Structure 1
Amino acid sequence: MSPDAVAFERLRAAFRWEIPERFNIAEAICDRWARREPERLAILTKHPGHALEPTSYGELARASHALAAGLAKRGVARGDRIAVLLPQGAEAVVAHLACSRLGGVAVPLALAFGPDAIEYRLADADARAVVTCAAGLEKLAEIETHLPELSVVVSTDGAEGGALDYRALVAEGGEVPFVDTTPDDPALMIYTSGTTGPPKGALHGGRVLLGHLPGFGLTHDGFPRDGDRGWTPADWAWAGGLLNLLMPCLYEGVAVVAQPTTKFNPNAAFALIEEAKVKNAFIPPTALRLMAQVEAPRERWPGIALRTLVSAGERLTEASFDWCREALGVPVNEVYGQTECNYVLASAASLGVSRAGFTGKPVPGHEVALFDEEGAPCRPGEQGEICIRRPDPVMFLEYWRQPEATATRFRGDWLRTGDQAVMDEEGYFRFVGRDDDVITSSGYRIGPSDIEDCLARHPAVALAAAVGKPDPMRTEIVKAFVQLRPGVEATEALAEELKRFVRQRLSHHEYPREIAFVDQLPLTTTGKIIRRELRGRG
């Protein structure tokens, strides 16, 4: 073990949580900075064709107090669910702050969702209010008659169809009395991505933000430092965008770059990193793979000077791990977690905890272990289910109105993630896949990530997904769905070449016996492959 890795283990051994008795997210990520330095930069918003638009902590405080006052006048109160259906930008932060000021429960939703997906979440949450924009209003118009609990709609694009004008409410001003909240009071409800079933509302206390800070500081190498500035292409409606970057940055007084868009463009990402002087980025693996298809980025955008880079959401391929060092000049620290319990495993390259193909080790403050199907601890090298011991500040309080579903996630004091991994002798975790995604073929249990990682190394492949296809002889065979790079022709010869490519680099039992070329892989709004949809294609 390297001296740096020894230092990491000492950090883990010495760590103790210090959770205050009272905690409010608005106070933590805005007000304490607004009182000290009201002009301190908080958000830099990039609209296409326009210069970066700055918003200070003082402006966020004033606007969020006014919005909270406007919502309170219309009956929105403590404990109510308030949906935030907005793109990245200062308005989304204001909506979250206003919710916290009222003691409400913020429900972030992605604008990329269709009307049915939005209706499901708003109805399930019994949302009382929603803050949205013109694009969101258009979708709400199709479903509002099915949402009797939704009584207040605020639009950042003006009063339309009965919506209140966000700017008019902010211009009215006003303040609301301070709401005394504890770290365990419900503050945030993030819906699971629905990759393995209907989305569930994971209810979190305000402590979830505090629980992210130790890992965030490690993966961003002593964050914050002078000149730091954060950015992520991840939707702020996802735990990754909201808690893996936005809120920790604001908590530490570091400005965040916002780009209101629902579709990722790798060229635009490079240009934004340069223009906005981004130093600290959180970029999901799918986005990194798309960025890797852009030739010579540092030559085209010489002002790029990232200090730290973190990735999470799916397993990071070894090809992406290598590309970040070579093309961006910065190591990428991988993070593992779920909507229910996030940022619990991580790499920390500055402390010597970094290895291609491995997520990393348990972050100080989090106890993570692997258990077999019988509930026995796994030995090094054995595959098992990732479990996290409670209590833990990042762990969800419950699934909203689903006590049985909540109970089934626990075995004693251990949260069962449903994710499979292997831990080596040095304590590194290598992610294998979800229980539902693991392929059983000829007695072998095969994780899709290794196959997808291997396929991604082929120069013709842009993205790949591996699933199990029922087979009478082998139980299942591996079937790969492949999205090719632009200009590459899908041929039978290429399919055979890809099969050989995997067989030669992995093993005979892991190579895909079938390959299907697709124009585009189905992805969640967070960039995760929807494998259950692919399994349904046969």
Structure 2
Amino acid sequence: MLERRDSYASLIRDFRWNIPERFNIGTAVSDRWAASDPGRTALLDYRAEGEAQRLSFGELAARSNALANGLRELGVRRGDRVALLLPQSFETAIAHIAIYKLGAIAVPLALLFGMEALEYRLQAAGAKSVVTSAAGLAKIRRIADRPPGLELIVSIDGADGEAIDFHRLVADHSPHFSAEDTGPDDPAMMIFTSGTTGPPKGALHGHRVLLGHLPGVQTHHEFLPQPGDLLWTPADWAWAGGLLNVLLPGLYFGVPVVAGRFEKFDPEAALGLAEKMRVRNAFIPPTALRMLRTVPDIGRRFRLDLRTVGSGGESLGRETFEWARAEFGITINEFYGQTECNLVLSSCAAIGVSRAGAIGKAVPGHTVAVIGEDGQRMKAGEAGQIAILRPDPVMFLGYWQDEQATAKKFIGDWLTTGDQGIEDEDGYVHFFGRDDDVITSAGFRIGPGEIEDCLTGHPAIALAAAVGKPDAMRTEIVKAYVVLKDGTAASEALAEEIKLWVRERLSAHEYPREVEFIDEMPLTTTGKVIRRIFRDRARAEAGV
């Protein structure tokens, strides 16, 4: 656990990992607090109308124990994969903890997935059981070919034919359970990659992954926990960002976590939740922050009590960084990682590690570099691939049943991210896109994130995507796909105004030479723009 230091240098110098020989995520985030402070608030379930419901650590430990007993009686064993298809809720946290205590492997899946996406992941994971809601159960029943190994369905919305009632299972079993004796490298969870650059792969993590996340969580929340801290994120808890940046670290540190059920991110509703629940610490992905920019008069209409806001998942960008500082009166602490090795770079304004347009610096305990194809570090200012040195507690065990793909992820002992960046003279890492996202135009390598951030600074634009369109003269030109704010009409004049807006703020080689207005922006379940769709569209337009 990090302690407050006067400087980043002292944190790096003094930090040492302390990974115990035996460790179980389930007991660490519930039983530990239940023993010392059972009445302490663990979770708050937000309701737009009425008071929020509260769950204590004592109740969390007892209910997860009861569910573990029930699942074991139904045949769930150590190493079995148990899928979770659930919204943010008490039941989601209880199910995760029960699975870890059983020594089984949690497979979180997003409710936004369609039937084909669900079928693929259930089959790839070899899931034996699933804990879900009525909405998730309806999707599972629509899968044409039910995964043959899926034997047990537990529903948080009551028994329904083949589904077993979650709450009855908890009520009917003992609140006492002896967790499996697990080590830090024993499998705990399988999180599927987003699939933006290829078929999703199941990244398998050991119980140590939670400990590996803690320094990064503490830095971007400026030495969490502090008195009065309260965590919330609009990110799905099925995503590594929601689960491992918020839910599990919050419980580990004894900081209450807010569960808010939103089928789709609504900026007004999100601000209402933050105001009502008096959220102090939030993880808000860049796309969600850009959507908040569309809400007028935030300071006048909402009384917020934010102490820290972290943002990650894609590049935040200078425009959004500066807007958030002016609007909320705090500095957004950007951070970076990916499903296989999350939260390895971070900003921390409290110790002076903050720079607009940069992700941050290496989190204490992690060795991060920008490397070339030969695995050698690039010089300051030279572009290369962001990579993390193994061994590292936050690093995945490997891709599920795919040793070849796991091996390809490494150059020597460097885990490669597929993300392009540079490290400046001061050690800040600047991210400018995945290999497939980088635009090559007239000899320049251009990251789409900065262009998209600049575009969303335009008063008429809600969301934007920038991709390279093949061009005979320049190799590629920048093309922008834009969703306008409500009440704004598309026109040629507006398109020209948008081009000029970017040209004046960035450079002559980065502005979009083509602007296309669209009605809706396709996003992944983690809130990232699916640029692949637009790359394919632009290539088709160019006849490639």
The TM-score with structure 2 as length reference comes to 0.96
Which amino acid in 2 is paired with 1:214? P
Whether 2:139 is the aligned partner of 1:152: answer no
- Alignment partner of 1:474 is 2:474: yes
Q: Distance in 2 between matches of 1:509 and 1:279?
A: 41
Cα distance, 1:166–1:5 mapped onto 2, change above 3 Å: closer
Confirm or deny: 8 A CA contact 1:103 1:179 kept in the other structure: yes
- Aligned partner of 1:297 in structure 2 is 298
Structure 2 distance, partners of 1:116, 1:359, is 35
Q: C-alpha distance in 1, partners of 2:417/2:36?
A: 41
1:257 aligns with 2:244: no
Deviation at 1:145, TM superposition (A): 4.1
The question of 1:243 aligning with 2:244 is answered yes
Match of 2:33 in 1: 33
Contact 1:334 1:346 (8 Å CA) reproduced: yes
- Helix, strand or coil at the partner of 2:537: coil
The answer for unaligned runs of 5 or more in structure 2 is 539-544
1:12 aligns with 2:20: no
Alignment identity in percent? 58
Give the direction of change, closer, same or farther, for the CA distance of 1:480–1:512 in structure 2 (3 Å limit). Answer: same
- 1:234-253 Cα shifts (integer Å, max 9, x gaps): 00000000111111110011
Asked if the contact 1:5/1:353 (under 8 Å) is kept, the reply is no
| Partner in structure 2 of residue 221 of structure 1 | 222
1:509 Cα deviation (Å)? 1.9
1:300-331: CA deviations, max 9, x gaps?
122x1111110111101222211222211221
**Equivalent residue number for residue 209 of structure 1:** 210
Cα drift, residue 265 of structure 1? 1.1
Residue equivalent to 1:231: 232
**AA in 1 matched with 2:264:** K
Please name the residue that 1:390 is paired with. Answer: 390
Contact 2:205 2:397 in 1 (8 A): yes
* Preserved CA contact (<8 Å) 2:483 2:520: yes
Q: Which amino acid aligns with 2:199?
A: P
Asked if residue 415 in structure 1 is aligned to residue 424 in structure 2, the reply is: no
Give 2:203's aligned amino acid.
A
Q: Which amino acid aligns with 1:451?
A: I
- Amino acid in the other structure paired with 1:291: L
Measured against aligned partners, the alpha-carbon deviations of 1:90-147 in whole angstroms (never above 9, x if no partner) come to 1000110110111000001111111111111111000011100100010011127421
Q: CA deviation at 1:75?
A: 1.0
The total of aligned residue pairs comes to 534
Superposition pairs of residues 70-81 of structure 1, within 5 angstroms: 70-81=70-81
Aligned partner of residue 17 in structure 2, secondary structure: coil
* 8 Å contact kept, 2:134–2:157: yes
Q: Which amino acid aligns with 1:205?
A: G
Q: Does 1:457 align with 2:457?
A: yes
Which structure 2 residues correspond to residues 291-440 of structure 1 after superposition, within 5 A?
Answer: 291-302=292-303, 304-440=304-440
CA contact (8 A) 1:115 1:140 kept: yes
2:68 is paired with a residue whose SS is helix
- Larger mean CA deviation between 22-31 and 479-488 belongs to 479-488
Q: Report 1:441-456 matches (<5 A).
A: 441-456=441-456
- Residues 366-417 of structure 1 show CA distances to partners (whole Å, capped at 9, x for unaligned) of 0000112343321111111001000001110101111111100100000010
Distance 1:295 1:51, change over 3 A: same
Say which SS state the counterpart of residue 536 (structure 1) adopts. helix
Q: 2: distance between equivalents of 1:308 and 1:457?
A: 22
Which sits farther off after the overlay, 139-148 or 380-389? 139-148
| Secondary structure, aligned partner of 1:23 | coil
Structure 2 match to 1:181 = 182
Report the counterpart of residue 200 of structure 1 in structure 2. Answer: 201
Contact 1:62 1:173 in 2 (8 A): no
Q: What is the match of residue 489 of structure 1? A: 489
Structure 1: 5+ residue stretches without partners: none
Deviations 1:135-174 (A, max 9, x none): 0010011127421101110001011131000111011022
Residues 382 and 423 in structure 1, CA contact (< 8 A), matched pair in contact too:
yes
Change (3 A) 1:144 1:181: farther
Q: Which amino acid aligns with 1:264?
A: F
CA contact (8 A) 2:205 2:396 kept: yes
Q: What is the RMSD of the two structures over their aligned residues, measured on CA atoms? A: 1.4
The letter for the 2-side match of 1:78 is R
Q: Answer whether contact 1:208 1:393 (CA < 8 A) is retained.
A: yes
**Structure 1 counterpart of 2:140, one-letter code:** L
> 1:190 matched to which residue of 2?
191
Distance in 1, matches of 2:459 and 2:301, equals 21
Q: Distance in 2 between matches of 1:369 and 1:5?
A: 24
Distance 2:81 2:147 in 1: 13
Deviates more, 1:214-223 or 1:90-99: 214-223
Report the Cα distance in structure 2 between the residues aligned to 1:194 and 1:161, rounded to whole angstroms. Answer: 34
Q: Which moved more, 1:470-479 or 1:242-251?
A: 470-479
- One-letter identity of the residue aligned with 1:288: L
Name the residue aligned to 2:542.
none
TM-score by length of 1: 0.97
